[in-house]
Structure 1
Amino acid sequence: MTTEFTLNAGGYTAVVTARAAALRVLQFEGRDLIVPFSEGGPIPDYRGIIAAPWPNRIADGTYSFDGVEHQLPVNEPERATALHGLAFPLDWAPKESDAGSLTLTCTVGPTSGYPFVLELSARFTLDDAGLHTSVTARNAADVAAPYGVCPHPYLVAGTSPLDEWVLEFAADSFLEVTPDRLLPVGVVSLDGHDFDFRTPLAIGSTEIDHAFTGLAFDGGLARLSLRDPAGAGVGRSGVGMSWDQSCPWLQIHTADKPAPLPNRIGLAVEPMTCPPDAFNSGTNLIGLEPGAQHTASWSIYAL
């Protein structure tokens, strides 16, 4: 079985793995736009995966849907949560592929804690404007199913340390979380806060692992830019990401790790259809009816 797929177009190269439909490599003219991982090995820190049928975490792995209680396996034991869905351990099968495009599919469920059946399809397309990804979920069962999705790339602006990268994205609030389990507390305004990147600002020593909302959609797209000042003027100034209105939430994580682990090596940028623990709060949770479909789309490109 093919374990990964390579796409080339417009100066870009992308490598997508069958496991988790994960984006393993994305380069423009040989420059990394994401933190890669080694071929054939484990996927560290969920890099590049498609997180479905929920993004982020569910407290204690428990939730109620349509009046029925469910218990998911807890795969983040240190926080007692169910993290990043059920699609990432799966091998996705190729449906279509050529030099610049690829479609992978998988079926999620029924399984412990998720007695629903979703058919997932991830479409990757490379062109002169970057890598474009869309994920479509179809409810293949005869009951409604709870659903959410997000990508999980760690963006790389350049060779300078992350603290020097300049971040910009338009959001008006963020989700405050508990410091120990990163579970929602409440939505807080960004006015006057260190997390306010509505104007370009160096990340500095700020540590972020939070979801943002109140995103600005211009022409139907929200956008984020991440630039390395050391590359300005030499055509290597950073990386950008855009996504459609299916994702009203954005998780940002500065990839902080205790020594001796690699620390702050990339910026996780995760457009999400719903916030953390949405299976319990119901906030922006998609209730996918039998036979219904949902599609979310995003792009990554060089700046």
Structure 2
Amino acid sequence: MTHPIEADASGPAAPADLVPRSGRQFALSAHGYTADVASIGASLRTLRFEGRDLVVPFEADEVRPGYRGVTLAPWPNRIVDGRYAFAGVSHQLPLTEPARGHALHGLAAWLDFTPRIVETDRVVLAAVVEPQAGYPFRVEVEVEYRLDADGLTQTVTGRNLGADAAPWGTGPHPYLVAGPGRVDDWTLELPAESVLTVTADRLSPVAVEPVEVHPEFDFRTPRAIADTFIDHAFTGLVAAEASSAPVASDAASLYRVVLTAPGGTGVEMTWDAACPWVQVHTADTPGADATHRIGLAVEPMTCPPDAFNSGVDLVVLEPGAAHAASWRITAR
């Protein structure tokens, strides 16, 4: 197919219909919030409240840095060695985290999602994970982003379009921004009673242990993150209703993480019971100051790391079945 060409005296000609590197763009706005969603990976590219960043953004014509803002499916986090067995059959996935030797964050990250609904405050996108080596299942991933007075709510629905049961898990990957400064400057409230310990070299899961045993990961009482390194999954989540702070009554607000800057600005993330786990990562990139600890990844997850092997909280989608999970980001 021949593309029309536009002349540009300042540089070489380019196709008139050139799509940005992050895919087609969908701009949302409502109640002081704005968001930009990119079609590649159904990624949250920007989220702002009254002009203030709530997540670490990236440019439209930029290859998305890592997994920033991406939708994780059909599994979040790591599958150790990329190997697992399901329904008595062994599978080997490509190792997408080669330095550690794992299959990381699913198969939807580089899919180009197609719009189903586009409104000023809402977009619904969908893509199909086709049967492939290591994941011989056909699953549709539908992603809705919606803005309202409470912030941005994302809902991810997995639908099994195939003839066999399929393992499933999902979650988001935003890097939250509380305000000026970096992760070290911010205060974290994380209502989790247990942490999944990992190996130092590969971050492979070891055991779920009480945070009392690992006080560096105990943020049930808000405190500064300082120089703590975190790249761990947490569970034993305490419902926000049990705290003294007010919380919305809908299901998307059952659990809550709060991040606060010294000046009093902040951001919170709430999610429903479909995600009994949350991964938190301090975005450490030693030697790359431009990205080092500039945002805190908060990733509600339907299952823990390596759930395809452990089976813990793993969703099994029967043929024709669907599973939905949602979470919300709100300015404070």
TM-score interval for Structure 1 and Structure 2 normalised by the shorter chain: over 0.9
Q: Give, as a single letter, the amino acid of the residue that structure 1 aligns with 2:256.
A: R
In structure 1, the residue matched to 2:34 is 13
In structure 2, the residue matched to 1:209 is 231
Q: Map of 1:1-303 to 2, 5 A cutoff?
A: 3-191=24-212, 193-217=215-239, 218=241, 220=251, 221-230=254-263, 232=264, 237-261=265-289, 262-303=291-332
Q: Give, as a single letter, the amino acid of the residue that structure 2 aligns with 1:81.
A: H
Aligned-partner Cα distance in 1 for 2:200–2:109: 26
Aligned-partner Cα distance in 1 for 2:257–2:82: 31
Per the normalisation by structure 1, the TM-score is 0.96
Q: CA shift at 1:45, angstroms?
A: 2.2
* Percent of aligned pairs with the same amino acid: 55
Q: CA shift at 1:41, angstroms?
A: 1.4
Q: Give, as a single letter, the amino acid of the residue that structure 2 aligns with 1:108.
A: V
Aligned-partner Cα distance in 1 for 2:316–2:150: 33
Q: Give, as a single letter, the amino acid of the residue that structure 1 aligns with 2:82.
A: G
Q: CA shift at 1:284, angstroms?
A: 0.6
Q: Give, as a single letter, the amino acid of the residue that structure 2 aligns with 1:203.
A: I
Cα-to-partner distance string for 1:127-156 (whole Å, 9 max, x where unaligned) = 111001100111011110000001000000
Worse overlay, 94-103 or 261-270 = 261-270
Aligned length: 298
Q: CA shift at 1:160, angstroms?
A: 2.1
Aligned-partner Cα distance in 2 for 1:140–1:224: 34
Cα-to-partner distance string for 1:230-266 (whole Å, 9 max, x where unaligned) = 2x2xxxx110100000000000000011203521010
Structure 1 counterpart SS, 2:309: helix
Aligned-partner Cα distance in 2 for 1:6–1:260: 30
Aligned-partner Cα distance in 2 for 1:128–1:260: 36
Q: CA RMSD in A?
A: 1.1
Structure with larger Rg: 2
Q: CA shift at 1:167, angstroms?
A: 0.5
Query: What are structure 2's unaligned runs of at least 5 residues?
Result: 1-18, 242-248
Query: What are structure 1's unaligned runs of at least 5 residues?
Result: none
Aligned-partner Cα distance in 2 for 1:124–1:39: 17
Structure 1 counterpart SS, 2:99: coil
Worse overlay, 187-196 or 78-87 = 187-196
Q: Give, as a single letter, the amino acid of the residue that structure 2 aligns with 1:66.
A: A
Worse overlay, 1-10 or 123-132 = 1-10
Q: Which has the higher contact order (CA 8 A, sep 6+)?
A: 1
Aligned-partner Cα distance in 1 for 2:53–2:199: 33
Aligned-partner Cα distance in 1 for 2:288–2:57: 19
Aligned-partner Cα distance in 1 for 2:123–2:292: 32
Aligned-partner Cα distance in 2 for 1:115–1:183: 24
Q: CA shift at 1:40, angstroms?
A: 1.7
Aligned-partner Cα distance in 1 for 2:173–2:294: 14
Aligned-partner Cα distance in 2 for 1:119–1:23: 19
Structure 2 counterpart SS, 1:250: strand
Worse overlay, 253-262 or 166-175 = 253-262
Aligned-partner Cα distance in 2 for 1:162–1:69: 40
